[in-house]
Structure 1
């Protein structure tokens, strides 16, 4: 865990004592643009990510595989633009475990600057914690001489890779465009993320593009471009303007005017990279590479980028996002002044197969109560791609259960630093049991004194069962957004349960009545999905608390954000069932 001395913003943030102790830029818009309460913020983000994941399932067949290299996302209050941003962040979840750095570029709403400004801060704080800044990358982009500190007011040295980059604390002090992206990034990528927060003021597309090229990095880095679209036009007219702007962005028509997008300068910088390519990039990455590796390996030509619109909305749409390729939703009031939003994604080398190792998993689930939370990336589980079989719940034995529980325990001990014995490491356990290399889907549930302490899982197999269980065990202990991480002192109090899921099968039922008549209490896990993409699941274990099929379905509808009393007769709700073999410690 990285610890920082937190300082509140004042007129003397450039003071040398603060630099030495470590200036952390405090949250400026918590409580206004998003909740200041940690629990409320986590709940809101996960709810909006659930919505984004559900939309993404409809969109993914038309999208490239792999992790996007860059996204364009809005930056208004979460209640207005959060769902549109969540669509892009749900897509970026493919990179969890791989992406370690986010370069975030927003506009300057409050303090104008000439150039692209970083700050002297070593971290940005949000209610979810402080996120370290990759200060070394900023120094390299500015081409500072050895040991030269960052001071507000300095400019990049002549000949620096990012010639228009500056250091300016005042423009960051109250700016929201970068800040509102950070809680989403913390949720999607976890605690090991670093950021490079930048405000782009008056600058040419090439100048902003040069900053992006200097910080582009490899697969460990994503680029976040923060921008809304038109501001405060009647919705009927705003949609027309925004669709024109979206079309210009999609066709790389430079420049986008600031009247059409408040983040026009950052957008134009990204478009410059897509048009000009990365041939001038310095390719500074956060991973260790040899001189040979750091050369042209991340310098493709412009035609190797694939830019896609994901979805669009306005502040008058009540959080409803219209997917790319589909018509917009009905307007509540065509004359209402609104702000426009859109999310885009950019893949690098999309036509060359780079990134294909990252599977399109959109089925991970947080908690046995069915709150979707796609936290995984299949890049770490490549072994599953070549598996000839899928381990199903029905095929598991008591011996399998003993191994799975031991594997989950070993992964948690290793994460907590409680076991350094090589022979008991998760990787060794997996090597000792070849069946763990077969593809499988699992849940890991932790309880303490009979109370839920963490639960993370996946509905469909997309990687090796061993990797799935060991990673879910760590995520259940450390990354379930409903709970604080498990401490080493708590470890002896934990009870572990591992559930291995069979493949979900569509149920041929078109009404609620038929569904409730068909369900097998105590045996069936159930997934419900409506036409708006709302989705939730209950494991078969939930039958113990809800033995009546009508109550089981009612509570699951509520978890999906649908009225518990909702009835249907014409297939409005898609129903899938699956079976689970569960192993619990006693």
Structure 2
């Protein structure tokens, strides 16, 4: 009887808390062989690998393609790749995409329960995100035996622990095949997370086992295909390995599927760029054999920095005072206030802004301008007056109301046209919908105020702001932007 009750309790617990009960930290499999198994020795080796690396310290890096061989062979190339990221840079998530070398399976495997362990300590897995990706995509599974002894993810982790600011979590992804359909689906699933607060690491070596001279030629052809930014070009080059491969080339790119996934995410986006960082092969290692080598490249993908605004507290205070005085001057005299010379230099930049008026916690007026040809300081003055007098949803503001009105200003980045709605992140970005001569927008803060998800944001904006119907966004031009939002206290 007791056994039966215990069995039932276990079943209930498994149903209610499967992840927690099945959670098992993934122990290091290649520590002591691919890299030192002792923490102090590993830190010392990493320190030596990062010495004299060619560093660009490019904070706009979106992804790195780096090798995963033993550190004695590829550690310098990998370290030079990681060195392009400013030391201590903070990320929310690091997606590490490796390839399963020992276990073959269809689709993709993500490690969802437990964390990864290295000699430098525990590196936390974003199990919530891992489980979400598995639940939402039929081709993504958890194949425990694939992760158990696989090195392509593990060897990257000490570099992350040594170089990045703590606080990030990893999403460990293994590809089980190089089916182009799988890489396209994986790219689509990961695209919403391909943002500036996440980093993507693509773990791959290049040619396997040709002589040094052949490796250099073959690896350059493969790297050039990647640098072209065209997934079909890389597929074409990799297909040349079979049925008539170059001499002694077993594979051109063992992590082809991970690289193709990255290229699919970046394809067609002119604000992303590929950069060759360094090339070596195993012949340069003291343990290498020039007649039988493996090639290693470090390649980065950077995104154009969105226009950033470094508005100081003084800048923000000036704009808020200007907005209020401009409204009051116009309501008193019907004249537009002149802007006195000597205003803060940062307000000379040309960028859009919206001015929002709030009375007793309710919207009283909101008007803005994108991509202006006048300085920010003039945009704020003009939009403040317009919000008070020209928002057709409300009666013009009366001077007597100004004591109870709070002013909020949103300074905008340039508009960025998107091709896929998954590129729109409500709460972080605003949305602008344009169809013909109609258009409408919601500022980033609207998502938090309303609780709407992506589709509701788009539908409400299309119907209520652009006037093109609930589903009008589906065949309209879509633009995103970000904002610095500040208000009177």
TM-score (norm 2): 0.53
The aligned runs of 1:27-46 (5 Å cut-off) are 27-46=28-47
- Deviations 1:62-93 (Å, cap 9, x if unpaired)? x9x53311010000000110110111111123
Paired residue for 2:277, among 302, 310, 318? 310
Query: How much does 1:185 deviate?
Result: 0.5
Query: How much does 1:263 deviate?
Result: 0.7
**Secondary structure of residue in 2 paired with 1:338:** coil
Of 267-276 and 207-216, the range deviating more from structure 2: 207-216
Query: How much does 1:32 deviate?
Result: 0.5
The aligned runs of 1:304-383 (5 Å cut-off) are 304-318=271-285, 335-348=290-303, 350=304, 353-354=305-306
Cross-structure match for 1:134:
126
Paired residue for 2:168, among 171, 178, 193? 193
Cross-structure match for 2:71:
78
The answer to whether the 8 Å contact 1:73/1:344 transfers is: yes
The answer to whether the 8 Å contact 2:112/2:130 transfers is: no
Query: How much does 1:355 deviate?
Result: 7.9
Cross-structure match for 1:87:
80
**Secondary structure of residue in 2 paired with 1:81:** helix
1:265 aligns with 2:245: no
The answer to whether the 8 Å contact 1:66/1:355 transfers is: no
Paired residue for 1:114, among 91, 100, 106? 106
**Secondary structure of residue in 1 paired with 2:280:** strand
In structure 2, distance between residues paired with 1:85 and 1:164:
30
The answer to whether the 8 Å contact 1:25/1:121 transfers is: no
- Please identify the structure whose Cα radius of gyration is greater: 2
The answer to whether the 8 Å contact 1:74/1:228 transfers is: yes
The answer to whether the 8 Å contact 2:111/2:130 transfers is: no
**Secondary structure of residue in 1 paired with 2:32:** coil
**Secondary structure of residue in 2 paired with 1:31:** coil
Cross-structure match for 2:93:
101
The answer to whether the 8 Å contact 1:110/1:175 transfers is: yes
Paired residue for 1:232, among 174, 198, 209? 209
1:243 aligns with 2:220: yes
The aligned runs of 1:101-500 (5 Å cut-off) are 101-142=93-134, 144=135, 160=136, 162-215=137-190, 216-251=193-228, 252=230, 253-255=233-235, 257=238, 259-275=251-267, 302-318=269-285, 335-348=290-303, 350=304, 353-354=305-306
Query: How much does 1:193 deviate?
Result: 2.1
In structure 2, distance between residues paired with 1:174 and 1:69:
28
The answer to whether the 8 Å contact 1:205/1:272 transfers is: no
Of 246-255 and 126-135, the range deviating more from structure 2: 246-255
**Secondary structure of residue in 2 paired with 1:346:** strand
- Deviations 1:379-437 (Å, cap 9, x if unpaired)? xx998xx9xxxxxxxxxxxxxxxxxxxxxxxxxxxxxxxxxxxxxxxxxxxxxxxxxxx
**Secondary structure of residue in 2 paired with 1:71:** strand
The answer to whether the 8 Å contact 1:163/1:210 transfers is: no
The answer to whether the 8 Å contact 2:67/2:204 transfers is: yes
- Deviations 1:321-372 (Å, cap 9, x if unpaired)? xxxxxxxxxxx97x52111000100012x2xx32879xxxxxxxxxxxxxxx
Query: How much does 1:217 deviate?
Result: 4.4
Cross-structure match for 2:51:
50
Structure 2: gaps of 5 or more residues: 1-13, 242-250, 316-489
In structure 1, distance between residues paired with 2:291 and 2:133:
44
Query: How much does 1:266 deviate?
Result: 0.7
TM-score (norm 1): 0.45
The answer to whether the 8 Å contact 2:96/2:173 transfers is: yes
Structure 1: gaps of 5 or more residues: 1-13, 145-159, 277-301, 320-331, 358-380, 387-586
**Secondary structure of residue in 2 paired with 1:92:** coil
**Greater per-residue helix proportion:** 2
**Secondary structure of residue in 1 paired with 2:260:** helix
